[in-house]
Amino acid sequence: MSILKILKYPDPRLRKVAEKVSLFDKSLEILSNDMLETMYKENGIGLAATQVDIHKRVVVIDISEERDDPLVFVNPVVTVLDDKSLVPCEEGCLSVPGVNVEVMRPDKVKLNWLDIRGNNHEMHPEGLLTVCIQHEIDHLEGKLIADFLSPLKQSRLKKKATK
Ligand code: GNR
Ligand code: NI
């Protein structure tokens, strides 16, 4: 297994839109294991392939207290079931160190994904998993929590990150 390098804001590679996975081979298993190892080393609760400069729709998450419940989501899709039910969360990001941003996200969603063998799954996530999977899918679309800040705070953050 290997630790991968995490891209940091404002690296333009974080803005690429990731491509769907269509090949369920050994390299996908290696990528997801390397992403999990990298996430654990950095004490994150999630990581999107985009953050390690791999532009494929692969996400890993572990929201357990014991850090012993690794989850892998390939081609994850969230469908909002009730667009009026929003929850606030103070979100951090390994690619945007030093900031926490309060983001409002839909709370009632359906999640569809494939596992590393290419089998379909569906669930109705709850709590932190609902927030985290949406944060990770944002990465796959090239979106960052910095984008939720006011223009003034964004320019201050960019100055700080590039000086
Ligand atoms: O470690 C992380 N914590 C976190 C907290 C609240 C909402 C989302 C997250 S994800 C983040 C790791 C990360 O940057 N994933 O892309
Ligand atoms: Ni992030």
Q: Please choose from 8, 94, 133 the residue to mutate so as to test ligand 1's pocket, defined by most ligand atoms within 8 A of CB.
A: 94
Average pLDDT, stretch 19-36? 98
Q: Tell me the domain boundaries of the chain.
A: 12-162
- How far apart CA 54 and CA 69 sit, in angstroms, is 23
Q: Catalytic: which of 42, 90, 136, 141? A: 136
Average pLDDT, stretch 129-155? 98
Q: Write the pLDDT tens digit of every residue in 68-101.
A: 999 999 999 999 999 999 999 999 999 999 999 9
Give residue 108 CA to ligand 1 midpoint distance, Å: 19
Q: Write the pLDDT tens digit of every residue in 107-123.
A: 999 999 999 999 999 99
- How far apart CA 132 and CA 86 sit, in angstroms, is 14
For the entire predicted model, the pTM comes to 0.98
For residue 69 the two structure tokens come to 């419940």
Collapsing DSSP to helix, strand or coil, 72 comes out as: strand
Half-sphere exposure in the Cβ direction for 76 (13 Å, CA): 29
Provide the mean pLDDT of the chain. 98
Measuring CA to CA, which residue among 57, 148, 54, 31 is closest to residue 96? 148
Q: What's the pLDDT score for residue 26?
A: 98
End-to-end, the C-alpha distance of the chain in Å comes to: 33
Residues in CB range of 58: below 8 A, 6 or more apart: 18, 21, 28, 31, 32, 35, 48, 49, 72, 73, 74
Average pLDDT, stretch 104-109? 98
What fold does the segment set 12-162 form as a domain?
Answer: Peptide Deformylase (3.90.45)
Q: What's the pLDDT score for residue 163?
A: 87
Q: What's the pLDDT score for residue 1?
A: 87
Report the pocket of ligand 1 as residue ranges, CB < 6 Å.
44-48, 51, 89, 91-95, 131-132, 135-136, 139
Q: State the residue for tokens 């630790």.
A: 3
Q: Which residue blocks in the chain are alpha helix, DSSP H? A: 26-41, 127-140, 151-162
Contacts 24+ apart (CB under 8 A), 82-90: 82/106, 82/107, 82/108, 87/130, 87/131, 89/128, 89/131
